[in-house]
Structure 1
Amino acid sequence: AIGVPEPLSVFVDSYGTGKIPDKEILEIVKESFDFRPGMISINLDLKRGGNGRFLKTAAYGHFGRDDPDFTWEVVKPLKSSKVQA
């Protein structure tokens, strides 16, 4: 919602394929990630390098690339003892 820093909802559905229940996955996600827009920008370092770093996404897309400028491709460790690698 406009003017609200926290998301109104976060939804997890593993379509029955999760090793742990969706409710537990949701709690792990909420503990591990800050979904406030400003924190997303900080955590992904989106302002680094200006707009030039995003020009590279125009060719071959945003995802699945091994480029240090694509900070969203870095796997973040989860804050939970329930999650095993």
Structure 2
Amino acid sequence: MTQSSKFFDDLGRIMNDAASVADGVRREAETAVRGQMERMVNDLNLVKREDYDALREMVQIQGEEIQALRRELDAFKRTKKTS
């Protein structure tokens, strides 16, 4: 093996090791940031999307029920006035 090919082999190995280390650091950083963001979100007491959607649907249904009851009440009042 010539000295220059050994140099390039060593350089390639060092670069691979550096890439592995950089990837490990990246994963660790992502994990740390994700954990911090989860803690921040939990501290804000935000509503989960599923809970919001369920409540929104319930409010819509109740609004429709209220409108129907108002129509019934108006109809009842009209029949009381005519009798």
- Per the normalisation by structure 2, the TM-score is 0.24
Select the structure of larger CA radius of gyration.
2
Greater RCO between the two (CA within 8 Å, min separation 6)? 1
Per residue, is there more helix in 1 or in 2?
2
- Per the normalisation by structure 1, the TM-score is 0.24
